[in-house]
Amino acid sequence: MNNSTTVRIKNLELPLEIIRVKKEGAARIDGIFHRQAAMIESSSAIRPKFMRKGELTRVAILDVALELASRDGLEGLTIGLLAEKMKMSKSGVFAHFGSREDLQIEVVRLYHHRFEQEVFYPSIKEARGLPRLQGMFARWVKLVSVEIALGCIYISGAVEYDDRPGAIRDHLVAMVQAWRDALQRCISQAIEMGHLRSDLHVEQMVYETYGLILALHHDARFLRIPGSVERAQAGFERLIESYRSTELTQNATAKAGRVNIPKKAANSAA
C-alpha cells in the first residue's frame, strides 16, 4: 500500500479514512465506521471511476446478485441462477469471481456500501447529538420499509450464518458491528451535547433501538401487520423521551408553559 489517501479494492478507490483492509486468512472489512468526527463530516461518497466493459459487466452481475440474495438469502444465491438471470454462461460469471463464496462476500460489501449511502452519510450531515441520531433512525426505518418487499441482507444473513463460521459470517458481523458502533458513538455525542441523560447506558439504548428495527422487519415482512412502520417510529420517540436530559425536558416544559397574556386581559384579571 502506498502513502496516498486512497486504496484501490475491487475496482473501487476507497478513502482510507472510511475503510481499512487487513488480511487474516480471508480478507475481512474492519472498522468501516471507525474514523474521527472531522473525517466523517468531510468524507466523500465512494464512486468507481472510469470502468471498462468487463468492469461494467461485473457491476451488473453484482446488482442482480444483490437482488437475488435479498429475495432468496445469500445461501440461495447460486452461479447457475445468476448466469440464467444475466443470460450468461456459468464460466462467464465465474470469470468475474473466484468462487461462489467470493461472490457472496462481494454482495455483502455492496449491500453495506448502499446502506452507508442511504442511511449513514446523509445522517452525519445533521447536527451532532440528538438530531443526528434521529436522522439515522428515520433513514434506517425508511430503508427497512423498502426492504419489506425485498428483504434485508443483514437480517436474513444473521439467520443463515449465526452458527456457520467462515469468511461470509466474518464480513456480516464486522459490518453490522460497524453500524452498531456508529449508533453508539452518536448516542455518546448526544449525551456530551446534553441532549440525553448523562447516566444513560449507551449499549442499552443501542440494543433497544436495534430491537425496534428487528420488530419492524418481523411484523411488517413476516406477519404483514399494517402500521408497523408507525409503531417503530412511535417506539423510538418514546425511547428518546425516556432518555432525554432532565434539564432539556425542563427547559422545553418551561418554554411551552409561557403564555403571552394580552395587556387588556391582564388588567381585567387584576
With H, G, I as helix, E, B as strand and everything else as coil, classify residue 265.
helix
* Band of pLDDT at residue 21, cut at 50, 70 and 90: very low
Domain membership flag for residue 270: no
- Rg (C-alpha) for the chain, rounded Å, is 23
What is the tally of structural domains in the chain?
Answer: 1
Rounded Cα gap, residues 84 and 93, in angstroms: 10
- Residues 92 and 83: beta-carbon distance below 8 Å: yes
Alpha carbon distances (Å) from 144 to 28, 215, 221: 25, 11, 10
Rounded Cα gap, residues 171 and 176, in angstroms: 9
Alpha carbon distances (Å) from 115 to 89, 112, 154, 261: 30, 5, 10, 50
Domain membership flag for residue 34: yes
Domain membership flag for residue 192: yes
Tell which residue, 144, 163, 129, 136, has the closest CA to residue 243. 129
Model confidence pLDDT, tens digit, residues 199-238: 999 999 999 999 999 999 999 999 999 999 999 999 999 9
Domain membership flag for residue 92: yes
- Residues 68 and 85: beta-carbon distance below 8 Å: yes
Compute the average pLDDT of residues 15-44.
35
Q: pTM above the 0.85 mark?
A: no
Rounded Cα gap, residues 193 and 130, in angstroms: 8
Domain membership flag for residue 264: no
Q: Which helix (H) or strand (E) holds 7?
A: strand 6-9
Compute the average pLDDT of residues 15-40.
35
Domain membership flag for residue 230: yes
Residue 96's domain comprises: 6-41+52-256
Model confidence pLDDT, tens digit, residues 68-90: 999 999 999 999 999 999 999 99
- Residues 144 and 213: beta-carbon distance below 8 Å: yes
Alpha carbon distances (Å) from 213 to 25, 50, 229, 251: 33, 37, 9, 31
- Other CB atoms closer than 10 Å to residue 23's CB: what's the count? 7
Q: Which residues contact 194 (CB under 8 A, 6 or more apart)?
A: 245, 247, 248
Domain membership flag for residue 266: no
- Residues 182 and 101: beta-carbon distance below 8 Å: no
| CATH number for 188 | 1.10.357.10
Domain membership flag for residue 267: no
